[in-house]
Amino acid sequence: MALDSNEYPDKSISKFESMLKTDDVYFFDSEDFEEIIHHYLNNGKISLGKKAIQIGLEQHPNSLELKLLQVEVLAFEDKFEAAEKLLDEIQDIDALNEEIYIQRANIQSKQDNHQAAVNLLLDALHLTDDTFDIHSLLGMEYLFMDDHERAKLSFMKCVEYDESDYSSLYNVIYCFEFLEDFDGAIHYLNDYLERNPYCEVAWHQLGKMYYAMDMFQEALTAFDFAVISDDSFIGAYFEKGKVLEKLGRYNEAIENYEATISMEDPTSHAFLRLGKCHEKLGNYDLAKYYYYHTVHEDPLLDKGWLAITDFHFRQKNHEKALYYINKAINIDGENPLYWKKAAKIYFALDNLDEADFAYKQTVDLGNYELDTWKNWAEVLKRMGDLNSSIQVLIQGLEFYPDSAKLTYKLAGIYLKNNEIPEAKKTLADAMKMDLDKLELFDGEFPEFSEVKWVKALVSKIKKTST
């Protein structure tokens, strides 16, 4: 398996490259060749790695380690049949070499045969005491198979072997998160921190777990310890800022976001959070300043465009809100959130044709949220296109069949369209779903509240529900 690129002697590399330039033939022992090859493979110089393998095998034709590196290159190039054939030859000589099973597992994994890869790696475990890399590979295979429980256990073994293996620690916590076992993650991290009390990575992850469980004071303490452990840990300052926002401590949140900007090149996410904090504090000029910087720093960050649009919308400056959401649409016309926001603005401007078009785009691009259907139907109702409004609500009810809101609205529009049988059935269905929401119907369609059959139906449903 490839060594880290800093584990090769510069002298061997220089000597090898000098040999290639001069066509002289220098002798290297097989370990030198291994290090030279690892260097080239780790740095993506595959052709030089292949050249080193070729010359290495010419000088050391019986070196199994060099042949295994040749297998690695063949697998990288998807030459699986040749790689397997060479592995068969190696296995005839050294049947108990765990690297054979590891390379076979790699070949199976590259062909999406992850269970076969797992079986081979489990075989490799029985052949060596140095199992760290094998457990790491097993963890990745289990992730490919969406078996997060076994992946978690494999990465835990890696952390047991090397508690500074933060990559495996992150993977353990990722598995806990995916399994929504936040209590388990908190217990695991607290246990880890008993042994490693100054590990800023573990404190940071613990804070994120507390945050996910809305345990904001505990999260704040964890992020404080992360900063104490490493006062240049930008991620901890940022996450601490988010917690302080949740607690309504906006000035302190601003201090933490500003700390991230002072330590490193500012990010669009930091600008966005600063804008939101200043808006909460009523510092509208500063809020605008940071929102503008957000979209300047990352024009593709949809949250930035939505924030600056919402800012102007809340200020009742609908024309400016429209200007910025259209800029966003010009950059990414496939983003349904932009179209949905545009529809809301057009509706506020009483531009119903454009609102209708924007909601159509929203749905066509895959946004099927309940309020999308409800608001689109409202636009069509206001336009007088009751048939289309009915069709939109029927579509919405396919996604939300138990939505009393959509059902009451559909009943009212059936009534407005003089489709009485459909209105009676739909209104009855809505009341059976949620009688308390009858006030929605009365509020939106007050002209029908005193209709004789409506009153009779309401009375009947109320009697049967008691």
**Domain 388-465, CATH:** 1.25.40.10
pTM: 0.75
Output phi, psi for 26, to 5 deg.
Answer: -110, 150
pLDDT at 9: 55
List the alpha helices (DSSP H) in 179-317.
Answer: 182-195, 200-212, 216-229, 234-246, 250-263, 268-280, 284-297, 302-314
Evaluate whether 265-367 and 388-465 have a shared fold.
Answer: yes
Asked if 142 and 154 count as a contact pair (C-beta separation under 8 A), the reply is yes
Contact 193, 203 (CB under 8 A): yes
Closest CA to 66 of 82, 50, 78, 81: 50
Are 283 and 254 in contact by the 8 Å Cβ rule? The answer is no
What integer pLDDT is reported at residue 5 of this predicted model? 38
The CATH class, in words, for 265-367 is: mainly alpha
**Tens place of pLDDT for every residue, the chain, 466 residues?**
443 434 445 777 888 877 877 777 777 788 888 888 888 888 888 888 888 888 887 888 887 888 888 878 888 888 888 888 888 888 888 888 888 888 889 889 988 999 999 999 999 988 888 888 899 999 999 999 999 999 999 999 999 999 999 999 999 999 999 999 999 999 999 999 999 999 999 999 999 999 999 999 999 999 999 999 999 999 999 999 999 999 999 999 999 999 999 998 889 999 999 999 999 999 999 999 999 999 999 998 889 999 999 999 999 999 999 999 999 999 999 999 999 999 999 999 999 999 999 999 999 999 999 999 999 999 999 999 999 999 999 999 999 999 999 999 999 999 999 999 999 999 999 998 998 888 889 899 998 888 888 888 888 887 777 6
3-state secondary structure of 356: helix
Q: Where are the alpha helices (DSSP H) in 298-351?
A: 302-314, 318-331, 336-348
Please give the pLDDT value at position 462: 79
Residues 6+ away with beta carbon under 8 Å from 182: 176, 209, 212, 213
Looking up tokens 């006062």, which residue turns up?
A: 231
Q: Cα(152)–Cα(171) distance, rounded to whole angstroms?
A: 7
User: What's the CA gap between 356 and 323, in Å, rounded?
Assistant: 18
3-state secondary structure 32-77: HHHHHHHHHHHCCCHHHHHHHHHHHHHHCCCCHHHHHHHHHHHHHC
What's the pLDDT score for residue 466?
Answer: 61
Cα angle value 322/325/330 (rounded, 5°)? 120
Report the distance separating Cα 147 and Cα 175, nearest Å: 9
Place of tokens 């490839």: 2
Three-state DSSP class for residue 368: coil
Q: Are 313 and 343 in contact (CB under 8 A)?
A: no
Angle between helices 234-246 and 200-212 (to 10 degrees): 20
* Rg (the chain; Cα; Å): 32
Could you tell me the residue ranges of all domains in the chain? 13-95, 265-367, 388-465
What pLDDT does 203 receive?
A: 97
